[in-house]
Amino acid sequence: MPSILPPWTDADPVLHARLGDAIDPDRKVLEGLERIVPLSGKRIADIGTGIGHYPMILARRTGRTYGIESDPELLAEARRRAAGSHQPNIRIVEGEPTKLPLRNGAVDIVLTSNILPEDGSLPAIEEAQRILRPGGRLIVVGYYGRDDVAALLEPEVVAQAIDATQRRTGWWLRNGFKIKVVHARVDLAEPELAHALLPRLFGDRGRAYLMGPHRPFLRLNLGLYHRAV
């Protein structure tokens, strides 16, 4: 989930698989998506799919899910996982966020974590809208802040998230998005997993967190930033 990961996070399939297990184990994001738009029978494109985490979760609910990825190593792992899932409605394809390999109006929902609240994302938003049918919906899974994870992130990342979600003046609302907040968590109950992930992702902040008394999870607030076409 690029929106809450440091920019130096490796494109490592093993790391991404462990993150998929630790981040939002209760599937709160899926519940939030269902409240925004019913997923049953829909055609969905997951842009920046990584190792195909969301297509694997969505496969039993949707008509067809496309996982779109540009990194060769993550793309290969997503294809391997899709083949092993025996879900015929998953397709993993190579593509860039600003040059998607789908025709106009191909899907009902575009899901992505790659769009950040900055004007440099506008070309990716325009391209995402191109592949949506009329009445379709673009949903960005992004960081909302005001949670435990904020203490581990760079202060400017947290400040940007808070500024972008201000009512009336925030970037998301100024660009036509509505905001649904999802109260999720990062599961740290397994000590080996916690000690493998937090220092790797957050350096000294992650180490300091683990050295002190802490709960077996981090509160993580995500925003589902969505707008209809």
pLDDT along the chain (229 residues), means of 10: 59 88 95 96 96 92 94 96 93 97 98 95 97 97 95 92 94 97 96 92 93 94 96
* CATH class name, domain 2-228: alpha beta
The whole-number pLDDT of residue 8 equals 54
DSSP state at residue 117: S
Looking at residue 32, its amino acid is: G
End-to-end Cα separation, the chain, in angstroms: 24
Delimit the domains of the chain by residue range.
2-228
Alpha helices in 53-190 (DSSP H): 53-58, 72-85, 122-130, 155-164, 171-174
CA torsion through residues 187, 188, 193, 199, sign: positive
DSSP state at residue 97: T
The whole-number pLDDT of residue 73 equals 95
217: left (phi over 0), alpha (psi -120 to 50) or beta: beta
pTM, whole model, 2 decimals?
0.94
Residues 130-151 as b/e (b if ≥16 CB within 10 A, e otherwise) read: ebbeeebbbbbbbbbbebbbbe
Cα(29)–Cα(54) distance, integer angstroms: 10
